[in-house]
Amino acid sequence: MNQSIVEKINQLRTQIEEHNYQYYVLDNPSVPDAEYDRLMRELQALENSNPDLVDANSPTQKVSGKMDGAFQPVNHLTPMLSLDNVFSEEDLESFIQRINRRLHSEQEIEFTCEPKLDGLAVSIVYQDGVLVSAATRGDGQTGEDVTQNVRTIKSVPLKLRGNYPSLLDVRGEIFMPKDSFDKLNETAIAKGGKTFVNPRNAAAGSLRQLDPSVTAERSLAVYFYAIGSAQDDEGKSELKQSHFDRLQQLKDWGLPVCPEIEVCMGKKGCLDFYSRILRRRDSLAYEIDGVVLKVNLIELQDELGFVAKAPRWAIAHKFPAQEEMTKLQAVDFQVGRTGAITPVARLDPVFVGGVTVSNATLHNMDEIDRLGVMVGDTVIIRRAGDVIPQIVKVVNERRPDNARMVTIPSHCPVCGSPVEKEEDQAIYRCTGGLFCDAQKRESIKHFASRKAMDIDGLGDKLVDLLCEQGLLNSVADIFILNKETIASLERMADKSAENLISAINKAKTTTFAKFIYSLGIREVGEVTANNLANHFLTIEKLLMANHDELVQIKDIGEVVAQHIVAFLGNEHNLDVIDKLLDRGVHWPEVKIMSLEEQPLIEQTWVLTGTLNRMKRNDAKQILLSLGAKVSGSVSKKTSIVVAGDSAGSKLAKANELGVSVIDEDTFIERLSSLGVKVTD
């Protein structure tokens, strides 16, 4: 055997193992992915051409391995325990009091506080640093052998590093990160397959695959949180005396540990940790359903011992549930701004994800088919974070005899116009256009919304009320509302009417891009509106646009071009645009210059304080179009600071650094000298 090949292979394996450790355990990748992939490919190629040198524990072996039939039972070396739960501060207090009583001590106790990962428990045994077996929890005594599948999980090391014990049974949670879960379900939906209810079920389903190559594709991950047992023949690796330090030992051996874990003091420390993690729950990359609090000192853990299957020294403090069961009372059909008809589930109210939910979206008829849901069914509702509540599953065993199929109405429930289905699409639409009250209302709500004309105070409820009273028949009517009519509405005081009128007046000054977006042309979102504005520059030119010119514009395809042509070819829409302009809607004319012409190129501007004659964002857009960079902070590199009313720390910093500062009037004069007119 060629000695240099053996050496090269060993060197590559060591390098890759080191990168795995940096990436999965230290969460600090040492090389770019491309370099890692290159090392892997090089190793793979060498192993392919030297099959004698293949080693079952080489990093290349993560995706191979074969299962032979069903999962075999495995007896755990020590039982896999579960945890008792608490749901309130009072229960947590009793838990801590029980501990104090048992320890005959009043002293504050130190806890290791960990997120409660929502996956499934696994026990992995390393013998002489090599992964020899992995098993699910099962009944706590006997689990199922999932070694081949666990070997495919990228963050599970096949070999340990450092001074590990000769036998180590380490416990952790296998989970599916949220983004992998979303991708898995999106692919399943696209293929018309079955989706998973939540990442935990997806993780369980993926781990229990008879074909390990399927598990390998599913992007599972692991964090370890306990040592089941450790034997150390050579006495190299004595276990530390606190749980937190033991977790650090796990990391030293190459085993990933959740980075959010902290040591906290007493009840207050634990409650603070709970609140902090709960606040960050949505932004974590993985699902958690609470926190786990563990007495930190091992000596105290040993003194406290166990009851039945759970330790006395640990507890799970659970978050409010994000999934609940309830009954589907009815399905209503809502008509959106573009006529799309959306089925909405009316539910028996249920407390889930911290709020009472009585409606859930059903998206479209395909979703209803996919779920197989019928009126009268018991369903599982999920409300995670700020996401709209969704029905994720039907509890088929609870279907009543009188359950009814959900059918799409043939006519719009609001205006009675026929409902049509678009070819190759799951969407049904009301054909009533702006004659349909629902479409009219929704288009007005869109027009007034923050990203559109941004009319402060003209929210959805008020739009509904104004439409009901016949005061708004199109978006243009917003600009002929007067204070007296508004003040005469129910629950509208003089002051709020006055505020609304001033917000409407303020909103008259907008940008061309926002104006286009506000019109609510189908499939014209903010980005497309911006592209249209930059291309046409004036409303007159936009109104003359034809299909061929439109498809030349960035990101505009055939379909969007058709929607734009249809919108601008409609008499009613043209009339509304005319009225809007007549009634005072306008925007500063922005002359977009070619690169050579951009007079502020290479300059960095900072806008601070309140501007009175224009909106901050409009000022920013104008500066950008003139080639300047617009930054949020002042530094030595800042060219000019525009300081509006009550400018604070940024103005002070500019003065300190000697950066030139101008006020709003001077700014507007400068713009005017550059050919940009700002009308008040």
Residues lying near ligand IVH in the complex (CB under 6 A) are found at: 81-83, 114, 116-117, 121, 137, 173, 225-226, 292, 311, 314, 316
Q: Token match 């599916």: residue?
A: 176
Residues annotated as catalytic are 116
- Gap between the Cα atoms of 603 and 81, Å rounded: 63
CB atoms within 10 A of CB 531: 17
Nearer Cβ to ligand IVH (287/664): 287
- Gap between the Cα atoms of 143 and 137, Å rounded: 5
Nearer Cβ to ligand IVH (83/676): 83
Q: Are 537 and 592 in contact (CB under 8 A)?
A: yes
Computed on alpha carbons and rounded to an integer, the radius of gyration of the chain in Å comes to 32
CB atoms within 10 A of CB 334: 15
Least CB distance to ligand IVH at residue 607 (A): 46
Least CB distance to ligand IVH at residue 225 (A): 4
- Cβ neighbours for 65, distance < 8 A, ≥ 6 positions apart: 148, 151, 152, 212
Pairing of strands 419-421, 428-430: antiparallel
- Gap between the Cα atoms of 322 and 134, Å rounded: 30
Nearer Cβ to ligand IVH (291/630): 291
Nearer Cβ to ligand IVH (19/137): 137
Backbone phi and psi for residue 526, each to the nearest 5 degrees, phi listed first: -60, -40
Nearer Cβ to ligand IVH (312/586): 312
Least CB distance to ligand IVH at residue 159 (A): 24
Nearer Cβ to ligand IVH (123/417): 123
Least CB distance to ligand IVH at residue 113 (A): 9
Which amino acid appears at position 223 of this protein?
A: Y
State both tokens at 661: 């500062």
Beta bridge partners of 341: 335
Nearer Cβ to ligand IVH (226/651): 226
Nearest CA among 202, 70, 78 for reference residue 146 = 70
The secondary structure element, H or E, covering residue 641 is: strand 640-643
- Gap between the Cα atoms of 321 and 535, Å rounded: 50
Q: For the chain, first and last CA: distance in Å?
A: 84
Q: Are 535 and 564 in contact (CB under 8 A)?
A: no
- Gap between the Cα atoms of 638 and 631, Å rounded: 8
Reported in sequence order, the residue ranges of 340-462 that DSSP labels E, i.e. its strands, are 341-352, 355-361, 378-382, 390-394, 419-421, 428-430
∠ at Cα 14 (232, 11), nearest 5°? 135
Least CB distance to ligand IVH at residue 90 (A): 20
Nearer Cβ to ligand IVH (261/476): 261
Nearer Cβ to ligand IVH (150/463): 150
- Gap between the Cα atoms of 492 and 266, Å rounded: 51
- Gap between the Cα atoms of 467 and 477, Å rounded: 10
CB atoms within 10 A of CB 406: 19
Helix axes of 3-20 and 33-49: crossing angle, nearest 10 degrees: 150
DSSP state of 251: H
Q: How many helices (H) and strands (E) does the chain have?
A: 24, 24
Nearest CA among 357, 63, 93, 321 for reference residue 216 = 63
Least CB distance to ligand IVH at residue 112 (A): 9
Least CB distance to ligand IVH at residue 121 (A): 3
Nearer Cβ to ligand IVH (79/376): 79
Least CB distance to ligand IVH at residue 267 (A): 19
CB atoms within 10 A of CB 160: 22
- Cβ neighbours for 47, distance < 8 A, ≥ 6 positions apart: 9, 53, 54, 58, 60
Least CB distance to ligand IVH at residue 545 (A): 57
Burial classification of residue 25, based on how many CB atoms lie within 10 Å of its CB (0-12 exposed, 13-18 middle, 19 or more buried): buried
Residue nearest to ligand IVH (CB): 121
The number of residues making up the chain comes to: 680
Least CB distance to ligand IVH at residue 118 (A): 7
Nearer Cβ to ligand IVH (83/264): 83
- Gap between the Cα atoms of 515 and 246, Å rounded: 60
Least CB distance to ligand IVH at residue 324 (A): 19
